[in-house]
């Protein structure tokens, strides 16, 4: 009798915990992001508008394999020592200051095309190496969200 209950328990658990689905390797994703960061920064360094301000303080954010942002605050680095002494003045500084944002984005996903007239047809992945570049002056993202 107890063996039947144990078998029933394991049968229910097998229904609940099915065979795990195959997942993409996190290592592969990180390698793709590192490669994208390298390509985007190389493309960014070829833009004359970016190179004119290159000596100024800025932060680079690689959001994924398709987008990279380089943000240059108008007044330079944030005065974090002010945050401890006068937090309201610090928040006012953050909310009111503008930033110059350089954005590099890759086009959409890869396209699969079928090559060959006779069977079997071969799938070929084509990836465009063109990038889009935009520069704009705007409020910090935090200030933009809160407003």
Cβ neighbours of residue 114 closer than 8 Å, sequence gap 6 or more: 121, 122, 123, 124
Q: What pLDDT score was predicted for residue 96?
A: 84
Domain-wise residue ranges, the chain: 25-146
Task: Please give the structure tokens belonging to residue 72.
Answer: 């240059």
CB 70 within 8 A of CB 59: yes
Tell me the pLDDT of the chain (147 aa) as tens digits: 577 888 888 888 777 776 666 656 778 888 888 888 899 989 988 998 888 888 888 888 888 888 999 989 888 888 888 888 998 988 888 888 888 999 998 876 555 555 555 555 555 555 556 888 999 998 877 666 665
Q: What pLDDT score was predicted for residue 13?
A: 76
Q: What pLDDT score was predicted for residue 9?
A: 80
Q: What pLDDT score was predicted for residue 128?
A: 56
**pTM (two decimals):** 0.61
CB 65 within 8 A of CB 33: yes
> HSE of 17 in the Cβ direction (CA atoms, 13 Å)?
5
């Amino acid at each position: 009798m107890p063996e039947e209950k144990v078998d029933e328990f394991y049968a229910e658990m097998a229904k609940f915990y099915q065979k795990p689905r195959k997942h993409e390797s996190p290592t592969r994703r990180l390698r793709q992001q590192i490669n994208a960061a390298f390509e985007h920064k190389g493309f960014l360094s070829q833009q004359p508008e970016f190179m004119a301000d290159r000596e100024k303080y800025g932060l680079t954010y690689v959001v994924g394999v398709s987008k990279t942002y380089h943000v240059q605050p108008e007044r330079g680095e944030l005065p974090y020592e002010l945050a401890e002494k006068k937090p309201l003045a610090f928040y006012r500084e953050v909310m009111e200051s503008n930033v110059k944002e350089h954005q590099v984005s890759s086009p959409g996903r890869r396209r699969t095309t079928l090559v060959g007239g006779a069977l079997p047809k071969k799938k070929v992945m084509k990836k465009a190496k063109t990038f889009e570049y935009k520069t704009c002056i705007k409020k910090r993202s935090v200030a933009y969200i809160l407003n």
